[in-house]
Amino acid sequence: MSQSPERSDPSADPRRRIPRTDHLLAHSQVRRASDSLSERVVRDIVRAAQDRARRGEIPPEDVLEEILSAIGGRPAASLRPVLNATGIIVHTNLGRAPLSAAARDAVQAAAGYTDVEFDLGTGARARRGAGARAALLAACPEAEDALVVNNGAAALLLATTALAGTGEVVISRGELIEIGAGFRLPDLIASTGARLHEVGTTNRTHLADYTGALGQGTGCVLRIHTSNYRVIGFTSEVEVAELTGPCRAAGVPLVVDLGSGLLAPEPLLPGEPDVAAALRDGADVVIASGDKLLGGPQAGILLGRADVIARLARHPLARAVRADKLALAALEATLTGPVPPVLDALRQDPEELRERTDRLAERVGGRTVAHDGRVGGGGGAEVPLPGWAVALESDLAAPLRQGDPAIVTTVRDGDCLLDLRCIPASEDERLAAAVASARGSRP
Ligand SMILES: *Cc1c(COP(=O)(O)O)cnc(C)c1O
């Protein structure tokens, strides 16, 4: 090929040597590297590299290299896997519950076309998510029926909308909680058009407060477990079992929002209520999240009386808050598979944790210090989980976060703390290597 006139003229503007967009897009190396990216994304990367060359930030000869490196470092989705070294098990900022291997496989299998709403035997349409429903009922035989929706907040929205309409939701003033990031459950309920009928006080609510509020306009009685804080001292609340009689007599459904998702009691969290007990005590519907202590995907789980669940499932809002096939697959596999990572982390043996922590501390030149783990946003407010951490220099927190793997730690009293509770032991090698490389990358 003959040289272009621009190239033969040394005085020409170097910007004229910037390769053309169509040439770059057609370049075999660019095409091979960008298999998993859309043409628009590749075009944007190409344009950004050309712009850098135009501004003189890179020589025109480096444009191709710049594009290849931008494409190579860019996965199709920006969410990155993180090693959670905080010791906080259900960490909302880190995606709450990590899925079990069984649940990951189920998500993979359901990712394409799948029989989520189809009966392969008869060829007819079938009930959506029948497998997840069956797994829930098997795991919680106290429930007559189950419905899975998008998340716990959606479950609460659906229950109050379908049961109360524009009527009243009777609720204790001690349970008007904010669940994080500024979301307040009373605001959520009020947004449905239902009216809150608050009873009792912040610290004490009695049965008579509830019974005095029941009347013609009552849509439902709602009990909310205050999962993220605790009121201690001069307190009194009304048990679910005490409320059942008056609610039945008034023909008013009793809804219990437990949040945490414990289907059965957990010995390590004696203060944490479970779904089975609430149903045995007479709740008509119990609400729980899928990605807290249940250890599954984001989901809102409604368990309870068949007629009440049917009312919820029939409501138009149910369609707007339904669970997607990936969540249904992961939920079923979480319920039928082995112990999920969340419960593994909760039940870590402090002795074994200590040994792992000591080994890592020795390898990376840190100290072992006592460090309590926490359940986090999933419940068990204020319950310390005895454990340990490797204490490192606090200026390692940023390079560890920005490294590969990304590691999120806690900085306390000038130490960067690495808590192994929520990290599988199989990752210890990578963790040690990451600490070494974080040290090396410091200025
Ligand atoms: C977490 C929680 C919710 C909200 O559930 P999401 O699944 O986060 O939408 C509602 N109520 C209680 C008591 C909770 O703990």
Higher pLDDT, 389 or 7: 389
CATH class of residue range 99-338: alpha beta
pLDDT digits (tens, 9 = 90+) for 227-285: 777 778 888 889 999 999 999 999 999 999 998 999 999 999 988 999 999 999 999 99
Q: Delimit the CATH 3.40.640.10 region(s) of the chain.
A: 99-338
Fold for the domain defined by 82-91+344-441: Aspartate Aminotransferase, domain 1 (3.90.1150)
Question: What is the position in ligand 1's atom list of the atom closest to the CA of 155?
Answer: 9
Identify which of 271, 272, 157, 277 has the alpha carbon closest to the alpha carbon of residue 222: 157
Q: What share of the chain is helix, strand, coil (3-state, %, to 5)?
A: 45, 20, 40
pLDDT higher than threshold 50 for residue 369: yes
Say which residues have a Cβ less than 8 Å from residue 153's Cβ, sequence separation at least 6.
179, 183, 185, 188, 300
Higher pLDDT, 442 or 432: 432
Question: Pocket residues for ligand 1 (CB within 6 Å)?
Answer: 151-153, 156, 179, 224-225, 227, 257, 259, 289, 300
Whole-number Å distance between alpha carbons of 225 and 228: 9
Between the CA of 184 and the centroid of ligand 1 the distance, in Å, is 10
Q: What is the pLDDT of residue 297?
A: 98
Length of the chain measured in residues:
443
pLDDT higher than threshold 90 for residue 75: no
pLDDT digits (tens, 9 = 90+) for 418-430: 999 999 999 999 9
pLDDT digits (tens, 9 = 90+) for 91-124: 999 999 999 999 999 999 999 999 999 999 999 9
Percentage of the residues of the chain whose pLDDT score is greater than 70? 97
Most ligand 1 atoms within 8 A of CB, residue of 179, 256, 301 to mutate: 179
Q: Ligand 1, atom 15: nearest CA belongs to which residue?
A: 259
Q: Delimit the CATH 3.90.1150.180 region(s) of the chain.
A: 82-91+344-441
Helical (H) or strand (E) element with 52: helix 39-54
Burial of 25 (0-12, 13-18, 19+ CB in 10 A): middle
> What's the token pair of residue 380?
């068990």
